[in-house]
Amino acid sequence: MRPISFIAVSIAFVAVFFFMPAAITHAAFGVSPPFVNADHLVPGSTFTQTIYLVRDNADQDVKIQASLQLADPIKNWVSFDQGSSFTIPAGMHQFPVTISVSVPKDAGLGIYHGSLTFNTAPASAGQVTIALGAQVEINLTIGNNVYENYVVQRMTFPDIYEGENPLVDVKFENDGNVPESFDSAVFELYDQYDTVRLAYVQKNDGFPTTPAFSVKDYELEFPIDFYMGVGQYWGFVTFYKNHQAVASQKTVFNVLRSDWWSRFIRYVAKEWIWLLIALVLLVGIVIAIVIRIRRSAAR
């Protein structure tokens, strides 16, 4: 019985070893060069560069989906000749894609970073195909005398009310001659003892831009899938620019009991300038109406 069992297992192992590659398609896929660096663009100029999508197995057609990650309106400056969806025909190991950057005539100084991602899609039925991807880093500099110098002067966690999302107040000082903003941020929520992580969220958009030679205060919200009841929590935020951490803060904040009066007081405290303007306009309208009524009565 043992020899028969050994032979059966051996045959099964050999069958799996030889037939498995025919059922699963897995090929290398990449891009060369993996970057587009345009360092000295000027308003009104156009920059072009050809990159090549490379694969080792070219036995069949491969569908490609392209996705551009760049901030608006810079995203509208970049185009590629193949469009967002195309097919690499069978037999081609290297497929060219030409990327163009057209800078508007009214563009100011600036440094911008983003990426262009190419993803493959299964092309035939009856096979287990692993989708692959390749990424091209895009780095654009508008102007020849660009000077970057910024610092995050303040990061605070204001108290919020139960059921609300965490907030971070930021004071961003930009002493350079180009606009600046964060690329992404990560917020981590911990319990009152700073021992258990309750939530984790990554934010990739919605960051205000601070103009050159200016200071900007703004508030960022981090939506989380966790209901925060009344109590004390630890928050840890990290801001990123050009894929590098540039500022971080970890501190305690409070979640307060929610009631309409407290919310009203906080709203007035945050929006007092607009409420003051509205009040002045209202008083002006009332005075104008009173004067008009008196003039009509005097006649």
Q: Which of 107, 142, 177 is the last residue of a domain?
A: 142
| Four-point Cα dihedral 105, 243, 145, 170, nearest 10 | 90
- The range of the structural domain enclosing residue 227 comes to 150-258
Q: How far is CA 97 from CA 32, 64, 83, 90, 92, in A?
A: 10, 12, 9, 16, 13
CA-closest candidate to residue 246, choices 181, 162, 164: 181
Mark whether 55 and 123 lie in a shared domain. yes
Task: Count how many domains the chain has.
Answer: 3
Mark whether 218 and 284 lie in a shared domain. no
Question: Which pLDDT belongs to residue 100?
Answer: 93
CB 83 within 8 A of CB 99: no
CB 111 within 8 A of CB 212: no
Q: What is the pLDDT of residues 43-64, one digit of tens each?
A: 898 999 999 999 988 889 999 9
User: What is the secondary structure of 121-140 as a DSSP string?
Assistant: E--STTSEE---EEEEEEEE
The rounded distance, in Å, linking the Cα atoms of 142 and 137 is 17
Question: Which pLDDT belongs to residue 16?
Answer: 43
Q: What is the pLDDT of residues 100-126, one digit of tens each?
A: 999 999 988 888 989 999 998 765 555
Question: Which pLDDT belongs to residue 144?
Answer: 80
Question: Which pLDDT belongs to residue 96?
Answer: 94
Question: Which pLDDT belongs to residue 258?
Answer: 81
**CATH code: domain of residue 107:** 2.60.40.10
pLDDT < 70 stretches in the chain: 1-27, 122-131, 260-272
Question: Which pLDDT belongs to residue 242?
Answer: 84
Question: Which pLDDT belongs to residue 50?
Answer: 93
Question: Which pLDDT belongs to residue 221?
Answer: 97
Report if residue 218 sits inside a domain.
yes
CB 56 within 8 A of CB 30: no
Report if residue 115 sits inside a domain.
yes
Report if residue 19 sits inside a domain.
no
Report if residue 159 sits inside a domain.
yes
CB atoms within 10 A of CB 139: 15
